[in-house]
């Protein structure tokens, strides 16, 4: 019996689409770790016992994905303050005493993906326009605020959710009606799509970029396809673009570090491997 074997995985329902095993097993191999990362199909009614069982089974922890990111918070012993503000966890790290600690690295992953595309990117470079007010938007908005963003215009189809954002996260957030999304692009430094529009099987995001300044960075959290119609439009106008794959890959890094003891790099070989599955 080798006690240094480290086991982790991802809990979701359904979960077969997850790229996390590919990512973490790539790093396990790259960093010559003795361990494995698997898929755990966990129905919502079994989530609590699955999380409580992590420590008993000797797992280092797990990722949490759809639809469990919010409900899992109730079943861990401690939630990181950032994850508390986001209102969801995507990572559990089992502590030496068996306690389960919950984290959310989605916003970290998003910001790292921007820095990868533009190393001198700064959160306070100018107004940020974010389309969508769902789970991904919450993680990204909180991280942008912590990074120093001064103004985030939240444009959402259901306006009341954008208003709730402003109420919850303070005066740096301004809610914008969906019909006013193109005017909101005026003098923006960063545009982010966090809606599912543009995803494979969904209509393209209905947005003309005419009013967006030429220097603005354009990003999309959707990564199937890698280059969404929004990113194609932006690239053709000369904007620097950031696809959703970087967020997916970078959010995995702090979890790998917590479980396996090495902060892994996101290299081209990993990008290529994941792109082959899309």
Annotated catalytic sites, by residue? 69
Give yes or no for residue 19 binding ligand NAP (CB under 6 A).
no
User: By CB under 6 A, is residue 196 in contact with ligand NAP?
Assistant: yes
> According to the binding rule CB under 6 A, does residue 112 interact with ligand NAP?
no
Under the binding rule (CB under 6 A), the answer on residue 46 touching ligand NAP is no
Nearer to ligand NAP, 84 or 196 (CB): 196
Pick between residue 94 and residue 221 the one whose CB is nearest to ligand NAP: 221
Of 6 and 18, the one with the shorter C-beta distance to ligand NAP is 18
Q: What is the dihedral of CA 94, 99, 105, 107, to 10 degrees?
A: 180
For ligand NAP, give the closer residue by CB, 71 or 196: 196
What minimum distance in Å lies between the beta carbon of 55 and ligand NAP? 27
Residues 6+ apart with CB under 8 A from 276: none
Residue in the shown chain whose Cβ atom is closest to ligand NAP? 134
Least Å distance, CB 58 to ligand NAP, is: 28
Sheet holding 217-220, edge to edge: 173-177, 152-156, 128-131, 190-193, 217-220, 241-242
Q: How far is the CB of 228 from ligand NAP (least distance, A)?
A: 10
CB of 202 to ligand NAP, least distance (A): 7
> Closer to ligand NAP at the Cβ: 188 or 247?
247
Contact 186, 195 (CB under 8 A): no
Decide if 143 contacts 111 (C-beta within 8 A).
yes
Whole-angstrom distance, CA of residue 55 vs CA of residue 51:
8
Name the one range near ligand NAP by CB under 6 A: 5-13, 20-28, 155-163, 234-242.
Answer: 155-163
Contact (CB, 8 A) for 156 and 133: yes
3-state secondary structure of 136: helix
Cβ 31 vs Cβ 260: under 8 Å: yes
Per the CB < 8 A criterion, the answer to whether 216 and 270 are in contact is: no
- Neighbour count for residue 140 (Cβ, 10 Å): 27
Q: Please report whether residue 248 would count as binding ligand NAP according to CB under 6 A.
A: yes
Q: How far apart are CB 110 and ligand NAP at their closest, in Å? A: 7
Considering beta carbons, is residue 94 or 137 the nearer one to ligand NAP? Answer: 137
Burial 237-267 (b: 16+ CB within 10 A, else e): eebebbbbbbbbbbbbbbbbebbbeeebebe
Handedness of CA 275, 266, 249, 155 (dihedral sign): negative
Q: Indicate whether 106 belongs to the interface with ligand NAP (CB under 6 A).
A: yes
**Is 188:214 a contact under the CB 8 Å cutoff?**
no
Question: Which residues, 208 to 247, sit near ligand NAP by CB under 6 A?
Answer: 221-223, 244, 247
The answer to the question of residue 65 lying near ligand NAP (CB under 6 A) is no
Query: Given candidates 89, 111, 136, 191, which one binds ligand NAP under the rule CB under 6 A?
Result: 136
Residues interacting with ligand NAP, by CB under 6 A? 106, 132-137, 156-158, 161, 194-197, 199, 221-223, 244, 247-248, 251
């Amino acid at each position: 019996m080798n006690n240094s074997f480290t086991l982790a995985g991802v809990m979701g329902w359904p979960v077969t689409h997850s790229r996390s095993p590919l990512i973490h097993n790539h790093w396990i191999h790259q960093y010559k770790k003795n361990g494995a990362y698997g898929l755990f199909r966990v129905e919502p009614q079994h989530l609590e016992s699955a999380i409580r069982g992590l420590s008993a089974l000797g797992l280092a922890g797990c990722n949490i994905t759809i639809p469990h990111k919010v409900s899992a918070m109730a079943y861990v012993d401690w939630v990181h303050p950032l994850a508390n503000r986001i209102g969801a966890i995507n990572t559990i790290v089992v502590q030496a005493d068996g306690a389960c600690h919950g984290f959310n690295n989605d916003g970290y992953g998003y910001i790292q993906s921007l820095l990868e595309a533009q190393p001198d990117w700064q959160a306070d470079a100018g107004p940020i326009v974010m389309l969508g007010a769902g789970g991904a938007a919450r993680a990204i908005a909180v991280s942008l605020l912590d990074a120093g963003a001064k103004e985030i215009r939240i444009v959402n189809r259901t306006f009341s959710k954008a208003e709730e954002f402003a109420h919850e996260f303070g005066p740096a957030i301004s809610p914008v009606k969906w019909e006013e999304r193109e005017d909101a692009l005026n003098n923006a430094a960063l545009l982010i799509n966090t809606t599912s529009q543009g995803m494979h099987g969904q209509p393209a995001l209905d947005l003309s970029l005419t009013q967006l300044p030429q220097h603005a960075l354009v990003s999309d959290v959707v990564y199937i396809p890698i280059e969404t119609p929004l990113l194609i439009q932006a690239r053709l106008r000369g904007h620097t673009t950031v696809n959703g794959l970087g967020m997916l890959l970078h959010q995995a890094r702090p979890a790998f570090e917590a479980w396996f003891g090495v902060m892994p790099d996101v290299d081209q070989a990993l990008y290529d491997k994941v792109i082959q599955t899309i």
